[in-house]
Amino acid sequence: MKKVFYAHNLLLYGTPQEKRDIEFLEKLGYEVFNPNTSEYQEAYKERGMEASVDFIRQCDVLAFRALPGGAIPAGVWKEIQIEDLQRLVFEIPTFSLRKKLSIEETRLYLAETGQR
């Protein structure tokens, strides 16, 4: 089973959103490494971002959760940007930010972008 590092803001630790995200990643078939563990926290206190790199190296994929407005917190951004790690990185979708377009809005969008 492939392992995913779940990068997310500290404010989500222990919340229902964290639980939903983990369940979502498990349904995708991943074993989830959640940095919301005492093992990770101790390593991070001792070595900072180098600890994150070590834990991420043990994973095949990195999934991250942006903030509700779409901004990516600094720590999560650093984890995404670790250059020597050739990993698939994907954002866990926030569907509440999505806007459904009507048929007319879709046609207007396609016209404005030169698609039709």
Q: Are strands 61-64 and 31-33 parallel, antiparallel or unpaired?
A: unpaired
This prediction has a pTM of 0.81
Q: Of 28, 114, 15, 115, whose CA–CA distance to 68 is shortest?
A: 15
The answer for residues whose C-beta is within 8 angstroms of residue 57's C-beta and 6 or more apart is 85
What's the domain count of the chain? 1
> For residue range 74-83, what is the model confidence (pLDDT) as tens digits?
999 999 988 7
Give the pLDDT of residue 98: 65
For the stretch 68-115, pLDDT in tens is 888 999 999 999 988 777 889 999 988 766 677 889 988 888 888 887
Question: What's the domain range around 70?
Answer: 3-112
Q: What is the predicted pLDDT for the residue at 61?
A: 95
